[in-house]
Amino acid sequence: MTAPVFVAEDLGSAGPGPGGTFVLQGPEGRHAVSVKRLRAGEDIVLTDGRGRWADCVVLAAEGKDRLVVELGTRHEEPPPVPRITVVQALPKGDRGEVAVETMTETGVDTIVPWQAARCITQWRGERGAKSLAKWRSTARESGKQSRRTRFPEVADAASTKQVAALLAEADFAAVLHEDRDYGSAPLAAVELPSAGEIVLVVGPEGGVSPEELAVFADAGARTSRLGASVLRTSTAGTAAAALLLGRTGRWG
């Protein structure tokens, strides 16, 4: 079994070389000591969630929330190429967290919440801020669970106009759409870039509106489909990302 991952935001302050000690405390230390019950001699990985990480060995657990570790060699994971961004329309209930969780585990690099015209869920005011915070917390926890050292960015909620701007700047841009009448080509067959930015749009339960499709087409996005079945909005992004990661060699 691989070593558990914990977040140390100030890992970079420990210096570049191996050796020395680091104290993991606060919520992460409490989780390591009181929940995982780690003890001296066990291996863990510390990461800042931005690509820097170190293999560590537990020296001691102190109290309920302090874990003292010996630092091993520090590493820096380069940014992945091509970079994959999924624009996720806001699903109902807790399906948004499900989408973020599984896309993080799969390997998506950026998740952009999108307030599509046909979204039932609305992010406004305090509710919107809480929902965004929950998505970001989910990405962080899922990044740890899946042993990632570079966690996905969860951007601020975007409007259709802002999504179109993202699509216009992408090296490959597509909107998932099951209707062949819109000329949807199989995502498994389209030509993909070997570097740069891939942006994929996942619509809401009610689908992407014709007006939104037109805006996205003007921005350079094509429509693509996954297969014969129609996936939920909370699972489509994960399935599509897995396909892209395999086809671009990132899962190689």
The per-residue pLDDT for 10 is 80
Tens-digit pLDDT profile for residues 44-75: 999 999 999 999 999 999 999 999 999 998 89
pLDDT at residue 1, rounded to an integer: 65
Whether pLDDT at 244 is above 80: yes
Query: Is residue 32 within 8 Å of residue 26, measured between CB atoms?
Result: no
pLDDT of residue 227: 82
Task: Identify the bridge partners of residue 54 per DSSP, sorted by sequence position.
Answer: 46, 74
pTM: predicted TM-score of the whole model, two decimal places: 0.93
Which stretches does DSSP call E strand in the chain? Answer: 5-7, 21-24, 43-47, 52-62, 66-76, 83-89, 110-114, 153-154, 172-176, 185-186, 197-202, 222-225
Per-residue confidence at 181, pLDDT binned at 50, 70, 90? Answer: low
The pLDDT tens digits of the residues spanning 139-167 come to 999 999 999 999 999 999 999 999 999 99
* Model pLDDT, residue 178: 80
Residue 236 has pLDDT above 60, yes or no: yes
Rounded to a whole number of angstroms, the CA Rg of the chain reads 20
d(CA 93, CA 7): 28
Q: Tell me what the mean pLDDT of segment 14-26 comes to.
A: 77
- Is residue 79 over pLDDT 60? yes
Query: Domains in the chain, please, with CATH?
Result: 5-76 (2.40.240.20), 83-247 (3.40.1280.10)
pLDDT tens track for 216-229: 999 999 999 998 88
Pairing, β 52-62 against β 43-47: antiparallel
**Residue 20 confidence (pLDDT):** 86
How far out from the chain centre does Cα 11 lie?
21
- Class of residue 177 by CB neighbours under 10 A (exposed 0-12, middle 13-18, buried 19+): buried
Q: Give 52's DSSP letter.
A: E
Query: Token pair for residue 43?
Result: 């291996």
Query: What's the pLDDT at 59?
Result: 96
**Average pLDDT score over the chain:** 93
Rounded Cα gap, residues 131 and 88, in angstroms: 13
Q: Give, in order, the Cα–Cα distances in Å from 97 to each of 4, 113, 173, 196.
A: 22, 11, 24, 27
